[in-house]
Chains A and B, each alone.
Chain A
């Protein structure tokens, strides 16, 4: 596909975004968002290994008379999906998605929800066994929380596992704008080994054309921003693990209309848990891809015993694209340069745009709020993916600095162009159309 122009445009736009909007958007999120640390997080007094919500946060709490008190504030958030792509979203506590609520089985929790949105809302605790009046379904279990009001939810966590929260009032609009988050309830008495790394992901999808600043809740089919924790590659942070560590990945999906088959390279894993509870050991089977239906959680676990940089991504190919234009003609197998050439002949404005781009004059123009359809620079060229894509970086030893960098593959394990000698020795004829080998 014709990535050249797109790349060029994308990078120009990216530069402009950084120059022009850096100051304006700096206050949005950023502060204290989580990356992967060099060492596993220490085990807490309550005996669990804290989770990591990459590019997100964990919601802090305060103990009041033995009750874990949380405060969630729903409001407008200026969110960055990736550098150069911003959205006027709705989130909790100033971030999109909301922070992960983390607690322990048996905890009594009190969660205050303040509504600073312009619309009424509720919070539903997806998968948690709560009293009916705490279930957060607007009109059914409670009246909506009006703008400016603060509601109190209170219940005891009677189970452990991985769950989600989201509004159950005007779901279509409010979830499309980003209101959702993950809940992790650790077992009071863990069976089996604790993970060394415990990553939490929320899968999401958004509709926002380049040049638009507000995700469109009316969209039903053509979602063009696909996210892991509300970030699209190249905006996603990598997961890391040290060789031999036990890695757990908790994946929730609250996409409006799609299920996502999440595929991990280099490993097989087992699904140990859903939002319905733990899968008995005897019922688990090995997988490389786990389908996470919308409204579901899948938790996978494996031992990171294969060093390298490993892709993890949704296997629906359009879900690893950014702001893909689905109305463009099919130009596969066609010389695409003629399209630009013809336009330059007949649409003089095309030349103006090209010249401005080449000279850098268009830096004064407001950026189009868009990012390249595909990825960014990798260690060995351009990574032609976007959206729901990130990497798991497994190293024998993680650097203290925390900057893992790219994997330096041993030469003999690195794919490379075949030499003429090698081709001859193995009897491979590169001019053959059928790939037949000599007997």
Chain B
């Protein structure tokens, strides 16, 4: 049984070891690694901002004028600690790789013992010869780990780029909502003041005035909430840009774009996303490292010889020095090495399971995002081309009836309120479509975020009356 198990473990090791790349050249540097990673990230995220124009600090860059999304990405890439932290991880991985190529130093033993009859001198030069066998595998392990770290750093930087783009989008959305909420509040206040004039003249019920007052208070609360959303959206951006303090009011350029579907290609998304995934690449490299580690464990146990060298001794009272070879052997009496082998094989299987899980996540996210982006683009179009015009037409129709004295101003304002609700739903849907598009791009740039594997609700127009109707 145990023998069979050993054979079963060995099988995946052989299969996967062949897919792992050979050890890279030890030549290279952490700086080159970082530049390679950044270049690939820029290529994938199409972040091609002009880094040369970047000032020495984010704050001084911001002082130069309103911020556009490209500059925001450049500032984040230049100053966000995530990037610096990533560079350091690359440096560590590079150091580990170099270290893995170095042989363990030989040991020089020297012992002097004094006896009444004289002094005994004993010495030896011993090299850990086992390291000669270990080193090539160790280097391959370090190289695999370096590849994993590169993929993880790339993933995190891609994430940063899209976090900045998303934060920018959320600010634009929040601003549009604040404007609509503000219009709604003004209309609600107008409705209240008209109702108050009727109420003061003794023409209408307390109840109708109260309903209008509730409408105005509600609109004020909604506006406050929208403003708070906007402030939080700006704060997200400030954090991502690594600003200690925002320079006064952060000037943010642009508005929500109108064509979130333009140039978006979702064909074959799952396969493309899988091919692009940094997570999968990192896990592949981690599996390689784990397999090589398992091979190392196996090789270690196959070799009893630990170290070898030359030893010499001059006994006390002797003048001659005895010189001879030395070997050190490990005797697998208590630890046959089976546990270590079992453990390393389990680590490989664990990583393979993690890779399978991630692969499922990526493919699921691709399907979900494709459906989401299609739905939102379609919904945005229907809202824009059909729903909003009809809502607006209803305002005009009711205005016609107002002009013919068939309805009061309150009905008109209520219809306008519903139209503002509809416009808010449109803004939210447009923003959601942009978010879905950014998610698709991010997934294709190799990073999966949590929102891609969880449900996102649709923005919906609320159904509540806006005014008392006035009679």
Contact = CB atoms under 8 A, between A and B. Distances in A.
A334 B204 CA distance: 12
B186 to A, nearest CB: 6
A409 to B, nearest CB: 33
Nearest to A324: B405
A353 B396 contact: yes
A429 interface: no
B400 A368 contact: yes
B197 A330 contact: no
A345 B400 contact: no
B405 A330 contact: no
B318 to A, nearest CB: 113
Contacts of B134: none
A75 to B, nearest CB: 30
A21 to B, nearest CB: 17
Interface string A218-253: 000000000000000000000000000000000000
B399 A368 contact: no
Interface string B398-422: 0111111111111011001000000
A2 B400 CA distance: 16
A309 interface: no
A85 to B, nearest CB: 12
A342 interface: yes
B59 interface: no
Interface string A7-40: 0011000000000000000000000000000000
A333 B396 contact: no
A54 B439 CA distance: 76
Interface residues of B, number: 33
A339 B194 contact: yes
A327 B203 contact: no
Given A343-B413, A345-B190, A327 B404 contact: no
Q: Which of B203, B396, B402, B405 has the most CB of A within 10 A?
A: B405
Given A329-B470, A346-B187, A338 B405 contact: no
B193 interface: yes
Given A329-B198, A339-B194, A346 B186 contact: yes
B113 interface: no
B416 A346 contact: yes
B471 interface: yes
Contacts of B161: none
Given A339-B194, A343-B412, A353-B400, A328 B186 contact: no
B403 A328 contact: no
Contacts of A350: 399, 412
A5 interface: yes
A82 to B, nearest CB: 15
A210 interface: yes
Nearest to B410: A329
Contact of B409 (A10, A210, A343, A368): A343
Binding site of B, secondary structure by majority: helix, strand, loop or mixed?
Answer: helix
Interface string A303-335: 000000000000000000001110111111111
Interface in A84-129: none
A41 to B, nearest CB: 40
Binding site of A, secondary structure by majority: helix, strand, loop or mixed?
Answer: loop
Contacts of A209: 401, 406
A334 B197 contact: yes
A161 B410 CA distance: 52
Interface string B378-412: 00000000000000100110011111111111101
A412 B183 CA distance: 60
Contacts of B469: 327
Given A342-B194, A347-B416, A9 B470 contact: no
Contacts of B410: 329
Contacts of A331: 198, 203
B201 interface: yes
Given A330-B203, A330-B471, A210 B406 contact: yes
Contacts of A6: 403-405
Interface in B193-218: 193-194, 197-198, 201-204
Interface string A394-418: 0000000000000000000000000
A328 B399 contact: no
Contacts of A330: 198, 203-204, 471
Q: Which of B187, B202, B401 has the most CB of A within 10 A?
A: B401
B183 to A, nearest CB: 8
Contacts of A210: 401, 404, 406
A370 interface: yes
Contacts of A347: 187, 395, 399, 412-413, 416
A9 B470 CA distance: 23
Contact of A329 (B203, B395, B403): B203
Contacts of A373: 405
A210 B400 CA distance: 9
Given A211-B401, A353-B396, A373-B405, A329 B412 contact: no
Interface in B400-454: 400-410, 412-413, 416
Q: Which of A6, A370, A373 has the most CB of B within 10 A?
A: A370
A338 B193 CA distance: 10
A346 B198 CA distance: 19
A349 B471 contact: no
Nearest to B416: A347
Interface string B167-204: 00000000000000001001100100110011001111
A347 B418 CA distance: 12
B407 A328 contact: yes
Q: Which of A2, A209, A342, A353 has the most CB of B within 10 A?
A: A342
Given A343-B412, A349-B392, A325 B194 contact: no
Interface in B340-368: none
A210 B399 CA distance: 13
Contacts of A333: 201-203
B222 to A, nearest CB: 16
A325 B198 contact: no
B408 A328 contact: yes
A329 B204 contact: yes
Q: Which of A324, A338, A347 has the most CB of B within 10 A?
A: A347
Nearest to A8: B403
A353 B203 contact: no
B412 A327 contact: no
Q: Which of B202, B408, B409, B416 has the most CB of A within 10 A?
A: B409
B412 A328 contact: no
Contacts of A370: 404
A353 B404 CA distance: 12
A229 to B, nearest CB: 25
Contact of B201 (A2, A323, A334): A334
A295 to B, nearest CB: 30
A232 to B, nearest CB: 15
B413 A346 contact: yes
B407 A334 contact: no
Contact of A334 (B183, B198, B395, B471): B198
B209 to A, nearest CB: 12
Contacts of A335: 197
Contacts of A5: 403, 405
Contacts of B404: 6, 9-10, 210-211, 323, 325, 368, 370
A185 B11 CA distance: 117
B471 A327 contact: yes
Given A325-B404, A327-B408, A329-B471, 4 more contacts: A209-B401, A329-B203, A329-B410, A332-B203
19 contacts: A6-B404, A9-B404, A211-B400, A323-B406, A325-B407, A328-B407, A329-B471, A332-B201, A334-B201, A342-B193, A343-B402, A343-B409, A346-B186, A346-B190, A347-B187, A347-B399, A349-B395, A349-B399, A353-B396
Closest 7 CB pairs of A and B: A325-B406, A329-B470, A330-B203, A329-B408, A342-B190, A339-B409, A346-B187
